[in-house]
C-alpha cells in the first residue's frame, strides 16, 4: 500500500499535466481519483486533457468532471497562455 493516497483535482492544462505526470511516477503516492474543473480552458477540454494524460501514462484512474465554472464569478480563460485546447496544441492520442 502507498504511503500517501491522494485525490487530484485539476483544470488540466500544461501545468497540471506536468503535475499529474510527476505524481503518477512518485513512489509512495497512490492516486485514487481525479476530478476536473473549468479553469485554464472549458470543462470539456480539461476533462478530455486529463483522460488523454491518463492514457499516455497507461493509467486507469477514475476521472470525474466537476464544476463548469467558478461559483461566485465569471470564469477567466487562460487559452492565450495554454492554447485553445489547454495543452498548447500537443497532439495526444484520443482517450
**What are the residue numbers of the active site?**
11
CA atoms 48, 11, 74, 70: torsion sign = positive
Task: Copy the grid coordinates of residue 65.
Answer: 468532471
CB atoms within 10 A of CB 79: 14
Confirm if 14 and 86 have CB atoms less than 8 A apart. Answer: yes
Amino acid at each position: 500500500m502507498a504511503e500517501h493516497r491522494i485525490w487530484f483535482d485539476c483544470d488540466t492544462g500544461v501545468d497540471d499535466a506536468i503535475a499529474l505526470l510527476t505524481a503518477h511516477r512518485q513512489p509512495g503516492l497512490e492516486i485514487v481519483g481525479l476530478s476536473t474543473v473549468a479553469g485554464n480552458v472549458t470543462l470539456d477540454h480539461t476533462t478530455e486533457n486529463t483522460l488523454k494524460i491518463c492514457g499516455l501514462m497507461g493509467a486507469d484512474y477514475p476521472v470525474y468532471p466537476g464544476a463548469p465554472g467558478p461559483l461566485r464569478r465569471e470564469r477567466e480563460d487562460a487559452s492565450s497562455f495554454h492554447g485553445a485546447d489547454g495543452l498548447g496544441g500537443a497532439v495526444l492520442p484520443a482517450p
